[in-house]
Amino acid sequence: MLAARWPAARVTGLDTSPEMLQRAGGAESGVAWVQGDIADWDPGEPAGLVFANASLHWVDDHDALFPALAEALAPGGVLAVQMPRNFDEPSHRVLGEVAERPRWADRVGHRAGWRPVDPPDAYFGRLAPRCATVDLWETVYYQVLHGEDAAAEWVKGAAARPFLDDLGDDAGAFFAEYAAALRPHYPPGPDGSTLFPFRRLFAIATR
């Protein structure tokens, strides 16, 4: 979409995952796909736009990352970021609580309390000294999910992934405990669907 919106621009698509890059599209998309880590990415020349959707929460040390991304911009360039910030909700709290149970603590207990995204004012502090404008906002999306243990199944593909990867053959047993513990927090409605509120933080900063 970005390449179509700015056909004259040189657009680079970055991700650590080869599978994700393959899914994103081939050379015909007009994008140069690069496998790499955002934490040490160098655009080579000042960027007109740095756009990061649902990815920066996987990168540690936002005190270093956000100033570096702002400084990668050309004058008038824009940093546009969306990150999940649902870490204090039952979906994520319960994940940590199950990880701290005696059966799991030695392998995934250290992952409890994972809060990779700070409150909005922390991002203002990182961006405002380097940018002419900083817009921040949060939106809670009331996602309508279907199926059994719909909230747990949704988290399985996101925040739960590192826990499940660490546990290998025991991932199924851990997930079953997590789904059972989460059930009372997200009961299905009369039509069988589950409303799953999910908070996301947005930042748009202009250099």
Ligand X SMILES: C[S@@+](CC[C@H](N)C(=O)[O-])C[C@H]1O[C@@H](n2cnc3c(N)ncnc32)[C@H](O)[C@@H]1O
In the complex, the smallest distance separating the C-beta of residue 82 from ligand X, rounded to whole angstroms, is 8
Integer Cα distance of 61 and 38 in angstroms: 12
Subset of 38-77 contacting ligand X (CB under 6 A): 38-39, 53-55, 58-59
78 binds ligand X (CB under 6 A): no
The smaller minimum CB distance to ligand X, of residues 17 and 133, is found at 17
Give Rg (Cα) of the chain.
19
201 binds ligand X (CB under 6 A): no
The 19-38 site mask, x for binding ligand X (CB under 6 A), equals -x----------------xx
17 binds ligand X (CB under 6 A): yes
Q: Of the candidates 11, 15, 159, 201, which one interacts with ligand X according to CB under 6 A?
A: 15
Integer Cα distance of 88 and 67 in angstroms: 26
Report yes or no: 44 and 36 within 8 Å, Cβ to Cβ: no
**Share in percent of the chain as helix, strand, coil (round to 5):** 45, 25, 30
| Angle at the Cα of 34 from the Cα atoms of 133 and 64, rounded to 5 degrees | 40
Q: Of the candidates 2, 3, 10, 16, which one interacts with ligand X according to CB under 6 A?
A: 16
Contacts of residue 70, defined as CB under 8 A and 6 or more positions apart, other chains included, come to: 79, 126, 127, 130, 131, 205, 207
In the complex, the smallest distance separating the C-beta of residue 58 from ligand X, rounded to whole angstroms, is 3
For ligand X, the binding residues (CB under 6 A) are 14-17, 20, 37-39, 53-55, 58-59
